[in-house]
Amino acid sequence: MTKKILILPGDGIGQEIVAEAVKILNALKANHGLDVELIDGLVGGAAYDETGSPLPEETLAKARECDAVLLGAVGGYKWESLDISVRPEKGLLGLRKELGLFANLRPAILYPQLADASTLKPEIVSGLDLMIVRELTGGIYFGQPRGVRTLDSGERQGYNTLVYSESEVDRIVRVAMDIAMKRGKRVCSVDKANVLECTEMWREVATKVGADYPEVALSHMYVDNAAMQLVRAPKQFDVMVTTNMFGDILSDCAAMLTGSIGMLPSASLDENGKGMYEPIHGSAPDIAGQNVANPLATILSVAMMLRYSLDEPAMAERIEAAVNQVLDDGLRTADIHSDGMTKVGTAEMGDAVTAAL
């Protein structure tokens, strides 16, 4: 049966990088028998400009009926002064929440060809293969109450709430454990249990879940130490599982270990494996429209989509092999360029991967 994929380029470089990922999907369709229908939609600032909402009802309805969603990026200077309730980011957060995409998988893999592109010494990062499992629909991102209130004194006070229920912790830790079972069988749960009651409970629940997985070595780490360990000795980690906000921060940190945030894909999954796929980087308005952005994170997100939502692991491997091929051939976008390599633009990189398929 034909699977439906909703294509949401969003804002900034989202437009350019998603165009390259669509080339890949179309090539797989034309030459390798991938049976998919691509459906266009609006999200983020682009949707706000057209409809007054960063997540129009129509987009949400399409997302619900599709088998998977491919998203570029949202946000930009143009919309920064809008009320927070209609900012482009709300479109992305709304999709995650409405679709129940609680499990965010952010792999950080160092391609050997890019060992020089990392700001860390090659021996620290070579062979790095880490999976960050970020809780995506709870925590301080969504906790109530939230807002800015005016105190009796006339001073304003901003507040947000970090909240997790046991079931939310239980299900995300289980996702991490299941992934670890297929990898190195080690999970590090990251919290701030020494200060925040909410994450003290997180640790208790994680420990309880861990007992159901006797083969997995479960450890716990405070988030400040985890940030330090990620740059000190990142290869000690196999799978990390953590809260929404800690995962947001640590995954950017992990991205730089691999040379460029422009290389890292992500999958956001619901209870049934339906998912939204996006690069972990943002809309980079400073370089948008210049054909310099790296499309590989988005192209690799398509590979994750084929693997996790469309049950086409061989096609996922085909994409990953093609990316390896173009890196072997010395093609580099500006973010991963180094001496002796061939600098290419966004579209040339997409064309090269398409050709290598």
Catalytic position from the list 212, 224, 286, 329: 224
**What's the N-to-C CA distance of the chain in angstroms?**
23
67 is a catalytic site residue: no
Q: Which residues pair with 217 in a beta bridge?
A: 186
Which one of 111, 248, 274, 277 is the catalytic residue?
Answer: 248
SS3 of 188-202: the string is: EEEECCCCCHHHHHH
Answer with the entry of ligand IPM, Mg ion, none that 92 interacts with (C-beta below 5 to 8 A by kind): ligand IPM
Q: Rounded to whole angstroms, how far apart are CA atoms 207 and 204?
A: 5
Count of positions on this chain that bind ligand IPM (CB under 6 A): 7
| Residue 269 found at the interface with ligand IPM (CB under 6 A) | no
- The stretch near Mg ion (CB under 5 A) out of 156-164, 224-232, 244-252, 332-340 is 244-252
Q: Quick one: which of 238, 248, 320, 335 contacts ligand IPM (CB under 6 A)?
A: 248
Interface with ligand IPM includes 142 (CB under 6 A)? no
Q: Kindly state the helix (H) or strand (E) to which residue 180 belongs, with its residue range.
A: helix 166-181
Which of 20/248 has CB closer to ligand IPM?
248
Select which of 178, 252, 270, 351 is catalytic: 252
- What is the number of alpha carbons within 13 Å of residue 236 lying toward its C-beta? 15
Angle (nearest 5°) at CA 268 between 266 and 269: 135
Q: Residue 295 carries which side chain, given as an amino acid letter? A: P
Which span (18-26, 170-178, 185-193, 247-255) binds Mg ion, by CB under 5 A?
247-255
For 66, 241, 256, 330, the CA distances from 348, given in Å and listed in that order, are 30, 36, 24, 13
Q: Give me the phi and psi of 334, to 5 degrees please.
A: -55, -40
**From 59-67, 87-95, 120-128, 234-242, span contacting ligand IPM (CB under 6 A):** 87-95
For the beta carbon of residue 167, count every other beta carbon within 10 angstroms: 10
Q: Catalytic site residue 48?
A: no
Q: Is 35 exposed, middle or buried (0-12, 13-18, 19+ CB in 10 A)?
A: exposed
Of the pair 32, 146, the CB lying nearest ligand IPM is at 146
Interaction of residue 278 with Mg ion, rule CB under 5 A: no
Instruction: Specify whether 252 is catalytic.
Output: yes
Residues numbered 281 to 300 that lie near ligand IPM (CB under 6 A) are 282
> Which is the catalytic residue, given 23, 62, 90, 192?
192
Residue 270 is among the residues annotated as catalytic for this protein:
no
Binding site for ligand IPM (CB under 6 A): 75, 89, 92-93, 248, 280, 282
Active site residues: 141, 192, 224, 248, 252
